[in-house]
Amino acid sequence: MYPLALILLAAAGPGNTPQSPRSGEDVIRAMHQRYAGRWYSTLTFVQTTRFPDGRSETWYEAAHIPGRLRIDIAPLDSGRAIYFRNDSIYQFRGGRQTASAPFVHPLMVLGFDVYADPPEKSIGRLRGLRFDLSKLRAATWQGKRVWVIGAGDSADLRSNQFWVEQENLLFVRMLQTNPNTGGVSETQFNGYVPVGGGWIAPEVRFFTNGTPGIVEEYADVKTGIPLPADLFEPAKHARPGWVTPGG
């Protein structure tokens, strides 16, 4: 482990200034250290998912951080649900499991788990997702200073990269190139607000090759709520879901 002094602050004393990170690994360690022991461990919210064709769906989401997320899709009696846990994805329809596969969810890692998991675990996952953590540069995004990890050149918008706002050390942008199609997907976490000792971005936007795609909007955000242990167990999935509208 690097000494904290190399990540955040020089030794205490007059005239000392914050140290700049030297790599993406330093940024990940700093993100964890900033909120260690303070970031919320449970989260629920109601999500409006807007599609480019004008359709919208309501998703009821619950998370236990780190590593567990459940999504129930309205109408709840449809039995449609998605689980993320154990670096895998599980999908349900009609109350029956229809698919499962290994999957490390990069948005869970960068937006939530990084603040709870040991930094080396997050670093290993991000390397596995083909982010080059040795590449680091400073930039500006939506009027704020950010760290860009994964691309050392401002003209490079094709390498896998994620952007972290410097002041509060919050993930704000990710770019990934599909190795099969060459297409570039972009995700933005926008409009962060403080909640439960941490933060949440109530708007998430997705783009493909620069074309706007799905928009997610969060409401009724709650943290620190006790959640049943089996809520995140795919093997115990049952209809009509864990929440009722307005409940």
Report the pLDDT value the prediction gives residue 69, as an integer from 0 to 100. 97
Report the pLDDT value the prediction gives residue 24, as an integer from 0 to 100. 98
- Residue 197, pLDDT > 80, answer yes
| pLDDT tens-place string over residues 61-118 | 999 999 999 999 999 888 899 999 999 999 999 989 999 999 999 999 999 999 999 9
Report the pLDDT value the prediction gives residue 58, as an integer from 0 to 100. 97
**What percentage of the chain carries pLDDT values higher than 70?**
89
Report the pLDDT value the prediction gives residue 43, as an integer from 0 to 100. 96
| pLDDT tens-place string over residues 8-24 | 333 333 333 357 999 99
For the segment 116-138, the average pLDDT, to the nearest whole number, is 98
Report the pLDDT value the prediction gives residue 83, as an integer from 0 to 100. 97
Tell me the CA distances in angstroms from 77 to 72, 81, 140, 177, 214, one per residue in order.
Answer: 10, 11, 45, 37, 24
- Residue 55, pLDDT > 80, answer yes
Write the DSSP string, 19-31.
Answer: PPPSSHHHHHHHH
For the segment 192-215, the average pLDDT, to the nearest whole number, is 98
- Residue 188, pLDDT > 60, answer yes
Name residues whose C-beta falls within 8 Å of residue 154's C-beta, 6 or more positions apart in sequence.
137, 139
Report the pLDDT value the prediction gives residue 239, as an integer from 0 to 100. 54
The average confidence (pLDDT) of the chain is: 90
Question: pTM for the whole thing?
Answer: 0.89
Report the pLDDT value the prediction gives residue 218, as an integer from 0 to 100. 98
CATH topology for the 4-236 domain: outer membrane lipoprotein receptor (LolB), chain A (2.50.20)
Report the pLDDT value the prediction gives residue 196, as an integer from 0 to 100. 95
Report the pLDDT value the prediction gives residue 6, as an integer from 0 to 100. 36
